[in-house]
A and B are shown apart, each in its own frame.
Chain A
Amino acid sequence: MVAAALAGAVLLLGVGNSTASASPGSADPPTVLPAGAQVVHPTPTPPDATNCTASYPPPATMPTPGAMPAGSWMAHIQARGYLVAGVTQSTYLWAYRNPGTAQLKGFDIDMIEQVNQAIFGADAPPVHFVLVPNADRSQAVATGQVDLVAETMTINCSRQTKSTKDPYPVDFSTVYYDAAEQLLVPSNSKINGPADLGHSRVCAIGGADSFGNLVAVAGAGHIVAWSDNNFADCLLMLQQGQVDAIATDNAILLGLQAQDPNTTIVGPEFSPEPYGMAISQTHQGFTAFVNGVLANERVDGTWEQLYNRDLLPYTKVPATPPAATYKTGP
Chain B
Amino acid sequence: MGLGEGTGQSMVTLEHLDVARSPVVDRGPKVRVTPARLRLASVGLAVLALVVGLVTALAAAERHAATAAAWQQAEPLVVQAQAIDTYLSDADTTAAGSFLQGQVQPARLRVRYTDDMASGSSSLAEAAQEAGNDPAVASSIRTISEDLPIYAGLVQTAAFNERQAYFPLAAAYIGEANHLMRTRILPAAAQLYRVENDRLSSDLGTADGSWLVPLAAVLLVVLLVLLIVAQVWMSRRFHRTFNAFLVGSTVVTLVLGIWFIAAVGLESGAVSTATSNGSSPVVVFTQARIGALRMTADDELTLLTRDSDPADQPDYVRTVDHIDLLLTSAASQSAPKEYNEIAQIDGALAAYGRVHRHIRQLDGSANPTLEQEADTLAASQLPAASSTLDGDLSQAIATSQQAFDRSMSGAVDDIAGLIWASAILSVLAAVLILVGFRPRIAEYR
A259 touches B102 (CB 8 A): no
B102 touches A229 (CB 8 A): no
Q: B156, B307, B366: which contacts A84 (Cβ < 8 A)? A: B366
With contact pairs A130-B366, A236-B173, A259-B161 given, residues A27 and B153 touching in the complex (Cβ less than 8 Å): no
Within 8 A of B (CB), among A96-121: 96-104
A27 touches B142 (CB 8 A): yes
Within 8 A of B (CB), among A200-238: 229-233, 235-236
B153 touches A13 (CB 8 A): yes
Q: A126 to B165, alpha carbons, bound, how many Å?
A: 23
Number of A positions contacting B (CB below 8 A):
50
With contact pairs A6-B156, A98-B103 given, residues A32 and B150 touching in the complex (Cβ less than 8 Å): yes
Most buried by A among B160, B184, B306: B306
With contact pairs A6-B153, A98-B102, A100-B101 given, residues A33 and B176 touching in the complex (Cβ less than 8 Å): yes
The segment from B2-10, B78-86, B369-377, B406-414 found at the interface with A is B369-377
- Asked whether A291 is an interface residue with its Cβ less than 8 Å from the other chain, the reply is no
Within 8 A of B (CB), among A78-102: 82, 84, 88-92, 96-102
Name the distance in Å between A84's Cβ and chain B's nearest Cβ: 7
Number of B positions contacting A (CB below 8 A):
50
Q: B154, B165, B173: which contacts A98 (Cβ < 8 A)? A: B165
B184 touches A30 (CB 8 A): yes
Of all chain A residues, which has the CB nearest B306? A131
B306 touches A91 (CB 8 A): no
Q: B99, B150, B368, B369: which contacts A99 (Cβ < 8 A)? A: B99
Q: A205 to B157, alpha carbons, bound, how many Å?
A: 22
Residues of A within 8 A of B167 (CB): 92, 96-99
B168 touches A92 (CB 8 A): yes
Most buried by B among A33, A89, A92, A132: A89
Q: A270 to B168, alpha carbons, bound, how many Å?
A: 26
Of all chain A residues, which has the CB nearest B154? A10
Of all chain A residues, which has the CB nearest B183? A35
B176 touches A9 (CB 8 A): no
Residues of B within 8 A of A100 (CB): 100-103, 375
A9 touches B153 (CB 8 A): yes
- Asked whether A326 is an interface residue with its Cβ less than 8 Å from the other chain, the reply is no
Name the distance in Å between A263's Cβ and chain B's nearest Cβ: 12
A233 touches B150 (CB 8 A): no
Interface string of B353-383 (1 = CB under 8 A from A): 0000000000001111101101100000000
A103 touches B99 (CB 8 A): no
A89 touches B101 (CB 8 A): no
A30 touches B147 (CB 8 A): yes
Of all chain A residues, which has the CB nearest B172? A232
- Asked whether B175 is an interface residue with its Cβ less than 8 Å from the other chain, the reply is yes
Name the distance in Å between B348's Cβ and chain A's nearest Cβ: 26
Most buried by B among A10, A126, A131: A10
Interface string of B163-195 (1 = CB under 8 A from A): 011111101110110011000100000000000
- Asked whether A29 is an interface residue with its Cβ less than 8 Å from the other chain, the reply is yes
- Asked whether A73 is an interface residue with its Cβ less than 8 Å from the other chain, the reply is no
Q: A236 to B160, alpha carbons, bound, how many Å?
A: 13
- Asked whether B210 is an interface residue with its Cβ less than 8 Å from the other chain, the reply is no
- Asked whether B149 is an interface residue with its Cβ less than 8 Å from the other chain, the reply is yes
B176 touches A10 (CB 8 A): no
Q: A30 to B143, alpha carbons, bound, how many Å?
A: 9
Residues of B within 8 A of A35 (CB): 175-176, 179, 309, 311
Name the distance in Å between B368's Cβ and chain A's nearest Cβ: 4
- Asked whether A34 is an interface residue with its Cβ less than 8 Å from the other chain, the reply is yes
B309 touches A229 (CB 8 A): yes
Q: A7 to B182, alpha carbons, bound, how many Å?
A: 21
- Asked whether A41 is an interface residue with its Cβ less than 8 Å from the other chain, the reply is no
Question: What 7 new A-B contacts, CB under 8 Å, besides A229-B309, A232-B171?
Answer: A7-B157, A10-B154, A102-B371, A127-B368, A130-B366, A232-B168, A259-B169
Please name the 10 residue pairs, one residue from A and one from B, whose CB atoms are nearest each other, closest first. A100-B102, A10-B153, A131-B307, A232-B172, A259-B166, A232-B168, A128-B366, A35-B179, A102-B372, A90-B168
